[in-house]
Structure 1
């Protein structure tokens, strides 16, 4: 059952998706990486999140998310092949303009509250239109599952519009 089908039922009116970082890793990204279906609902896969300007992406329209806010599973292999060292290029060759997703902070740990164990990482990014000095107002947080010190190519992206 998709997220939209599950939460468009009358009994869930007024419910909004607002998970903690820990919940995003344990309840959504972990099962996705392990190829286990989520018993509650599945977040959508997105194939073009790094290929188009964020305002040109198609989004699931539902009252489940806050306005101008979405969550998607994305494969890191969708990033540009221009990888230098440990930095990945998130350049967007768009239809209306070119731009890029620039990190706006360091890669931060996501830890289990009770044990302090690192279970994942997250990175915040802002979208910049080429030639503009200020960010566009579009932000994204990428969540990575960390398993035994290794990262997986499946990430969960939390996208917010202005």
Structure 2
């Protein structure tokens, strides 16, 4: 019997064996992981840990900072009688951006979840400083809808239809920025040649002369001044024209 690869726990985060990668789709995250978590059903793999995001800054979360990290988090209300979630962290807060995206099942085109994009800001709102940390927060569309309910098995004593807490699934990563060398290379391709001393020149004079109405003397791509500076050909033509009386 073939043995399935098992995850290894390190520093509070379950890691897959070497060679295995965890790259689920949005639908898989909602249906196979979040939905099962909410209704207390067995997960396909115990690879996503539970965590309270309010106790961590994104760079202090368990796991490698260079990798995408996945966590289950229970949402907390910002106010006792309100529906807004508490987005505060140790030294900043998560701020939502854009509209929520619907996640549909591939087979039935039913809305099974919602995806919210958030950005981490240092400091306190509204004067926080934006960072490169991004979070995708997945939640069930509505636990009472048909697409979000697990059918009960016969002779089952476990009521899996009742949601077990307001769980969300979070995917957190750091957005990569282009380096200065990459930016300089792109600008060099767009703006023109660079001199030996590193200073970039733009031929404004040549462009101005080409725009003037001198079609006979400005046929080539070079400037008109360069063409008129060669006096040998002009001298021969003038002398031949004056040799005949």
Same-fold call, TM cutoff 0.5? yes
Which protein, 1 or 2, shows the higher relative CO under an 8 Å CA cutoff with sep ≥ 6? 1
**Residue number in structure 2 paired with 1:103:** 96
Residues 115/68 of structure 1: CA separation in 2 closer, same or farther (3 Å cut): same
Residues 68/83 of structure 1: CA separation in 2 closer, same or farther (3 Å cut): farther
Q: Structure 1, residues 38-77: CA drift from partner, whole Å, max 9, x if none?
A: 2433411112x123321123x135xxxx933100011113
**Residue number in structure 2 paired with 1:34:** 39
Kindly indicate whether the alpha-carbon contact (under 8 Å) linking 2:32 and 2:44 is maintained by their aligned counterparts in 1: no
**Residue number in structure 2 paired with 1:50:** 54
Distance between the aligned counterparts of 2:22 and 2:50, measured in 1?
17
Larger radius of gyration: 2
Structure 2 residue runs without a partner (length 5+): 149-162, 176-245
Give me the TM-score of the superposition, normalised by structure 2. 0.52
Distance between the aligned counterparts of 1:102 and 1:69, measured in 2?
19
Residues 119/56 of structure 1: CA separation in 2 closer, same or farther (3 Å cut): same
More strand by share: 1
Distance between the aligned counterparts of 1:69 and 1:128, measured in 2?
19
**Residue number in structure 2 paired with 1:72:** 71
Kindly indicate whether the alpha-carbon contact (under 8 Å) linking 1:73 and 1:155 is maintained by their aligned counterparts in 2: yes
Give me the TM-score of the superposition, normalised by structure 1. 0.75
Residues 129/26 of structure 1: CA separation in 2 closer, same or farther (3 Å cut): same
The alignment of Structure 1 onto Structure 2 pairs a total of residues equal to 147
Distance between the aligned counterparts of 1:139 and 1:4, measured in 2?
26
Correspondence list, 1:81-92, <5 A: 81-82=78-79, 85-92=82-89
- Determine whether 1:148 maps to 2:148: no
Residues 134/75 of structure 1: CA separation in 2 closer, same or farther (3 Å cut): same
Aligned pair partner of 1:130 in 112, 117, 123: 123
Cα offset, 1:142, TM superposition: 0.7
SS of the aligned residue for 1:45 comes to coil
SS of the aligned residue for 2:117 comes to strand
Cα offset, 1:83, TM superposition: 6.4
Distance between the aligned counterparts of 1:141 and 1:30, measured in 2?
16
More helix by share: 2
Structure 1 residue runs without a partner (length 5+): none
